[in-house]
Structure 1
Amino acid sequence: MSSTQSKLQIAIVGGGIAGIALALDLCRHAHLDIQLFEAAPAFGEVGAGVSFGANAVRAIEGLGIGKPYQRIADRTPEPWQDIWFEWRRGTDAGYLGASVAPGVGQSSVHRADFLDALAHELPPGIARFDKRAVTLEEVADRVRIGFLDGTEHTCDLLIAADGIKSSIRDYVLRGLGEPAVAPRFSGTCAYRGMIDSETLREAYRAAGIDEHLINVPQMYLGLDGHILTFPIKQGRLINVVAFVSDRSVPDPQWPQDKPWVKNATQAEMLDAFSQWGDAVRVLLECIPAPTLWALHDLAELPGYVHGRVALIGDAAHAMLPHQGAGAGQGLEDAWLLARLLADPQLGHENIKRVLEVYDAVRRPRACRVQRTSWEAGELYEWRDRQAGDDPAVLSTTLANRFDWLWNHDMENDLASARVQLGWQTAAVR
């Protein structure tokens, strides 16, 4: 982009992890004018622990947010530092195998802590709050966003990072001549809670249960249910998510008048796992007031881009959490877009083409991660046609199932994008 041209104005709608990470990277470049719009009165995340695979950790480092992440991240302690999860039967905690992520293991944080750490890195004046986007139009070479408070903002391009309930996704799909895509209920609900690690340790000792199950992230598997545990808050808390799936109907529906997250009772949670073993029972007895989450995802979209508007993160590819990959895919989106949008060869005249190439590079991978995240849930809950509940097949399958996801080379994605754009020389960052 020539120095004689005005700054390229980029708006980001949505202040979640992907949106803030992208804003942080882009605002370091003097030739870009970045504005981040968040619908809420302040940055905030619902949920508890979030896990990042090796690919996501590399994206975090590449986005320049590795230091704030490492200050708060939890890792599997030595000598189990490379273990992502150990896999066990829910009925008796019998060992099935382990998935190993060399050099990373289980890398996780409390979602709100990570968002807070990122928000503190943002320079003043970048973020604007209470800005809920309600209208969108492209006029000539500009994008005009209308907000619920009656104000407007115009920019050269817009990145929508506004989550699974995105207000901008329909605009993109309509522009592509495609029908709107709404979140769909998966038929799976998750009981969630956090346990003080010492409280759980004492309960396991009293019940004669091996404390190793606390030291290393665990995944307990069973028919139509599975439970995961991993540490957060520097090991002070154990994040617990207990999934239950209803496969009795082919097209499950969640009532429109019910919230996706609600309070639940310990009694109903324990009843859902009444046939499981002591390790699970004692674990759940340490959660007096769980919350219940109705898990939704999106169908694979036919496109993430229309004109000067692009979708990233859950707005584009919200997925089930069974591979711990949703947030990581948003960070991969942000990583690639940051490199393309900050390149001096980007100008007002080729914005649309750059976004089209982003879509061509990112969408096939993100769609595959969506698809395999659903398949992972089937595998964990003994519904995979090949594995079923066969311990040997499960162990072999789980040992290397995630390699393709974790070992993805984002530099190859960037190189592919640059070739498609005719940008043969790498930009200096």
Structure 2
Amino acid sequence: MNNNSSKKNLRIAIVGGGISGVGLALDLCRNSDVEVTLFEAAPAFGEVGAGIAFGANAVRALDGLGIGEDYRKVDDRTPAPWEEVWFEWRRGDGEAKYLATTVMPGMGQSTVHRADFLDVLTTHLPEGTAQFNKRAVGVEQNGTEARVFFADGTDFVCDLLIAADGIKSALRAHVMEGIDAPPAEPRFTGTCAYRGMIDSDTLRAAFLAKGLNTHLVDVPQMYLVKDGHILTFPVKQGRVINMVAFLTDRSTDTPQWPADAPWVRKTTQADMLKDFADWGEAPRTLLECIPEPTYWALHDIAELPGYVHNRVVLIGDAAHAMLPHQGAGAGQGLEDAYFLARMLGDPRLTADNLPAVLATYDELRRPRACKVQRTSWETGELFEMRDPEAGDNEQILAVKLETRFNWLWNHDPASDVAEARARLGWEPQSAIA
């Protein structure tokens, strides 16, 4: 990057080809004076996991990144007439007693298969933007340049390195060391989850055979008991039901996951049913329709004291990996990407003010992302009847379940960009989103 008032040929490297990394790359590639290279460790783009949920805030970020239309081509929504329902909440024991309904106006339960969405996005990447089989292993900085090193022995020099390499980020330690903070390794949360997909006709037939209401198949449900919860929602235009069943081990305050054990593995239906033996008939029937579940050990990272060290920036799970209980993790990565796309693509960006621009990212995005991390853990406690105020009190539970997500969903990521521009003394420009 030239050290003058121009940002011509700003060389940006993005490490990590997930949705936030690709979304950011797509937006930045529209700027002729920005050179973007995206590095992905795998041989091709791909995402682990069946489904991903987006709140209204995340969809605003998708629209701001110019990929909202692509999202709507492959997304799933709660079917009419329940299109605004995010979840119905029920007890997981006994007769699945109804507790409350959480509504997301104009959205409802909005989900997408990760791989489907990534397939659509990557078709828009200019040829040559992405490089594969590039696993980042470290980074060093020299003045206004960063050099990222890869496992294949190659390296790459850039003006700005954006680490979107996930919870196991190889680049996070560099940022932590640079800001004189302790390393932030993934930590096991004590919660594990069984996951599976069920043909909706199969599940509907199973419910009918037991005299259960098939409304529970068609509308997103959350079944709650102490130290466990199960969620279901339709995907693939209602043809398939996605199911995740969570259990939390409370036997220790410092749960450990064996260092050599995979975080995701196949398991048996028999083991799963044993773990849910005391649950009610509706959730048990769900589990009986999943012959080959997978088993996930849920990890997160601590709230970080900073996301930026000179010319290296953390985004997405590399910065704020969190529990999935608010369906908010991917959305926070998209808010990161949207903020950086707008600021780095702004014609007022210069070599001189780049450090100040990155500082606004840290000042404005980090407190919100940390709050989402923290409240995601607290939400899991609420779901599993461990909230210090609600416990298993159904009345308090209902009020909290209906209202606690509004602050998260109602946020407009454009307000962060406007605040950043104000702090930098940049006059509003109506032509800039």
SS at match of 2:353: helix
- Equivalent residue, structure 2, for 1:254: 257
Asked if structure 1 preserves the Cα contact closer than 8 Å seen for 2:269 and 2:293, the reply is yes
State the distance in 1 between where 2:127 and 2:398 align. 50
State the distance in 2 between where 1:297 and 1:63 align. 26
4+ runs deviating over 4 angstroms: 1-5
- Equivalent residue, structure 1, for 2:66: 64
- Equivalent residue, structure 1, for 2:80: 78
Per-residue CA deviation, residues 202-240 of structure 1 (Å, 9 max, x unaligned), is 111111111101111000000100000011222221110
State the distance in 2 between where 1:285 and 1:117 align. 34
| Equivalent residues, number | 429
Aligned-residue offset at 1:5: 5.8
Aligned-residue offset at 1:427: 6.5
For structure 1, list consecutive stretches of 5 or more residues without a partner in the other structure: none
- Equivalent residue, structure 2, for 1:388: 391
SS at match of 1:321: coil
Aligned-residue offset at 1:147: 1.1
Per-residue CA deviation, residues 168-209 of structure 1 (Å, 9 max, x unaligned), is 100000000111110000000000000111111111111111
Per-residue CA deviation, residues 56-90 of structure 1 (Å, 9 max, x unaligned), is 11111111111111011011111111110000000
Letter in 1 for 2:209: A
Letter in 1 for 2:342: R
| Residues 1:204 and 2:207 aligned together | yes
Letter in 1 for 2:14: I
Aligned-residue offset at 1:123: 1.5
Change in CA separation of 1:217 and 1:426 when aligned onto 2, cut-off 3 Å: same
- Equivalent residue, structure 2, for 1:214: 217
- Equivalent residue, structure 1, for 2:244: 241
State the distance in 2 between where 1:4 and 1:344 align. 9
Q: TM-score, normalised by structure 2?
A: 0.97
Asked if structure 2 preserves the Cα contact closer than 8 Å seen for 1:159 and 1:310, the reply is yes
- Equivalent residue, structure 2, for 1:414: 417
State the distance in 1 between where 2:78 and 2:7 align. 49
Asked if structure 1 preserves the Cα contact closer than 8 Å seen for 2:37 and 2:131, the reply is yes
SS at match of 1:323: coil
| Residues 1:154 and 2:167 aligned together | no
State the distance in 1 between where 2:422 and 2:60 align. 23
- Equivalent residue, structure 1, for 2:28: 26
Identity of aligned residues (%): 63
Letter in 1 for 2:340: L
State the distance in 2 between where 1:154 and 1:192 align. 41
> Counterparts in 2 of 1:83-162, with a 5 A limit?
83-91=85-93, 92-162=95-165
Aligned-residue offset at 1:135: 2.4
For structure 2, list consecutive stretches of 5 or more residues without a partner in the other structure: none
State the distance in 2 between where 1:223 and 1:272 align. 13
| Residues 1:165 and 2:168 aligned together | yes
Change in CA separation of 1:3 and 1:123 when aligned onto 2, cut-off 3 Å: farther
State the distance in 2 between where 1:395 and 1:288 align. 33
Aligned-residue offset at 1:353: 1.6
Asked if structure 2 preserves the Cα contact closer than 8 Å seen for 1:84 and 1:101, the reply is yes
State the distance in 1 between where 2:349 and 2:368 align. 24
Within the candidate set 176, 181, 188, 1:178 is matched to: 181
Aligned-residue offset at 1:356: 1.1
Q: TM-score, normalised by structure 1?
A: 0.98
Aligned-residue offset at 1:283: 0.4
Per-residue CA deviation, residues 83-113 of structure 1 (Å, 9 max, x unaligned), is 1000000012111011100000000011111
State the distance in 2 between where 1:111 and 1:181 align. 26
State the distance in 1 between where 2:233 and 2:124 align. 27
SS at match of 1:86: strand
Asked if structure 2 preserves the Cα contact closer than 8 Å seen for 1:72 and 1:234, the reply is no
State the distance in 1 between where 2:146 and 2:117 align. 31
Asked if structure 2 preserves the Cα contact closer than 8 Å seen for 1:164 and 1:183, the reply is yes
Aligned-residue offset at 1:328: 0.4
Letter in 1 for 2:264: V
